[in-house]
Amino acid sequence: MSIVIETQDLWRIYQTGAQEVAALRGVNLQIERGRFVALQGRSGSGKTTLLNCLGGLDQPTRGAVRILGEEMKNWSDEQLTTWRREKLGFVFQSFGLIATLSAYENVEFMLRLRRVAVTERHRRTLACLERVGLSKWGHHRPDEMSGGQQQRVAIARALVNQSPIILADEPTGELDSATAVEILQLFRQIVQEDHVTLLMVSHDRLVEQYADEVLQLRDGQIVK
Ligand code: ADP
Ligand code: MG
pLDDT tens digits for 36-91? 999 999 999 999 999 999 999 999 999 999 999 999 888 999 999 999 999 999 99
Q: Whose CA is nearest to atom 24 of ligand 1?
A: 14
Ligand 1 within 6 A of 202 CB?
A: no
Q: Would you say residue 1 has pLDDT above 70?
A: no
- Ligand 1 atom with the shortest distance to the CA of 43: 4
Predicted model pTM: 0.95
CATH 3.40.50.300 fits 1-87+164-224, yes or no: yes
3-state secondary structure of 45: coil
**Cα–ligand 1 centroid distance for 21 (angstroms):** 8
State the number of CA atoms in the 13 A half-sphere of 207 facing the CB: 25
Domain boundaries, the chain: 1-87+164-224, 91-162
Query: Does 21 contact ligand 1 (Cβ within 6 A)?
Result: yes
* Strand-strand pairing, 213-218 and 197-201: unpaired
Q: Ligand 1 in contact with 15 (CB < 6 A)?
A: no
Q: Number of H helices and number of E strands within the chain?
A: 6, 10
